[in-house]
Amino acid sequence: MKPEMMKRVLLISLTSLVALAGCHSFKKENVEPPTPLAKDFKPTVQVSKLWSTSIGKGAGDSGARLRPTVVDGVLYADSTDGKLAAIDANSGKTLWSKSTRTQGWFGWGDKKRKDAMYAGGPAVDGDLLVVGTLDGHVYGVNAKDGSPRWDAELDSEVLAAPAISGDLVLARTEDGRVYGLDRADGKRRWVYDQGSVPLLSLRGNGGLLAANGVVFFGSDDGKLVALREDNGAKLWEQKLSSGVGRTDIERLDDADGSILLDGSTLFAAAYHGNLLAVDGPSGRPLWGHPFSTFVSLALAGNALYGVNDQSQVWAFDKSTGADIWKNDALMHRWVTGPAVQGNYVVVGDLEGYVHWLQTGDGALAARMRLSKKAIHAQPLVVGDTVYVEDVKGHIGAYRLSAH
């Protein structure tokens, strides 16, 4: 079996869980129904929707967590049905939109990028936009108008957003490889090969973090890995998950969240594993806390925020890993990774709701409904605005103010 096929053997498919939620069928063993939302909930902060729009069919049932990005007041978003767009982040007005799908009986459309299934989420630096696809490509695009620049063909799906660092574009694929591509033309400079990926793995990858000449990422076998940015050579790795248990599922390790950097300290977590603070230069653990998650973390002030595999929202002291608070109100709602908007933690859930929790004690403060579709991607906070996208490509922008 090829690595990219093995990657499709999933422990948990978020899309299948959402499907279960939609038909209210929770009879399968070990699948808990989502905690009902309180009908008498009284918000303590006012939330305003600034605008909403949509981008193609979104992630659909691909399992990708499509998350937009905002650069210099422009929001960039993509979809698995070949849509790519730039949107004014303040007004929601579309600035430009491109489609790689062929159109009509005569095949009108972009033949060079016919039926590109964008999946990695866009990354933008200056006038360069890069995005990955389900069929193993990374495209370089002019961020000003969406016109194509170059096409790099890789060996497997690109489900994580690429990263741009200096003259390199960094991308990872579902078969355990990380690529360094030339920013100017997409040509391959180096490739790091994990060697093999586990037979069982959660679908998806966390993004790459490039800092101080090093590329950091969480691997499919539950490790935090550091590579040299100039040539892809491995500097060190640190185990995040123990991989113990009687069955393959119990032993499953996977680090699918993005890595956070604060000063010289890295923060990472894994499914069936630990939340770990690691010294960046050496890879030496500073502290660890048992914590199983398959989504990204968030950091603000002296606190680190996470959502575990039961959808409990946690806050930890970033210096020691000690618990600050835990909120159980959203259990089994398949909550996204958290984002921090002012004094609130923001998450989305499987029924299209967006929730705000107080950073001080974790109390629920507000909720809005983007749509009736699941939200898988971590919300994006830029300034005083949070942007949220669901699996069907609906995007909403929200701002809040105290009563």
* Cα within 13 Å of Cα(211), Cβ side: 16
Give pLDDT, residue 113: 53
Give pLDDT, residue 174: 87
pLDDT for residue 8 is more than 50: no
Give pLDDT, residue 14: 40
Taking alpha carbons only, the member of 70, 7, 136 closest to residue 389 is: 70
Give pLDDT, residue 115: 55
Give pLDDT, residue 199: 54
Cα–chain center distance at 299: 15
pLDDT for residue 287 is more than 50: yes
Report the alpha-carbon distance of residue 240 to residue 25 in Å, rounded.
Answer: 34
Taking alpha carbons only, the member of 237, 288, 290, 285 closest to residue 265 is: 285
Beta carbons within 10 angstroms of residue 115's beta carbon:
13
pLDDT for residue 242 is more than 90: no
Contacts of 397 (CB under 8 A, 6+ apart): 49, 50, 51, 52, 89, 92, 385, 386, 387
pLDDT digit string, tens, across residues 177-197:
999 999 999 999 999 997 766
pLDDT for residue 110 is more than 70: no
Report the alpha-carbon distance of residue 291 to residue 308 in Å, rounded.
Answer: 7
* Arithmetic mean of pLDDT, 239-261: 67
CB < 8 Å & 24+ apart, contacts of 194-199: 194/219, 194/220, 194/221, 196/3, 197/3, 197/6, 197/7, 197/221, 198/6, 198/252, 198/253, 198/254, 199/6, 199/9, 199/248
pLDDT for residue 111 is more than 60: no
Least confident of 272-276, 279-283, 304-308: 272-276
pLDDT for residue 71 is more than 90: yes
- Tell me the average pLDDT of the chain: 86
pLDDT for residue 2 is more than 70: no
By DSSP bridging, strand 303-307 and strand 298-300 are antiparallel
Residue 125 token pair: 């630096």
pLDDT for residue 401 is more than 60: yes
pLDDT for residue 16 is more than 80: no
pLDDT grade, residue 257 (50/70/90)? Answer: confident
Between these two residues, 385 and 156, which has the higher pLDDT value? 385
CB 395 within 8 A of CB 54: yes
* Arithmetic mean of pLDDT, 213-239: 93
Give pLDDT, residue 273: 83
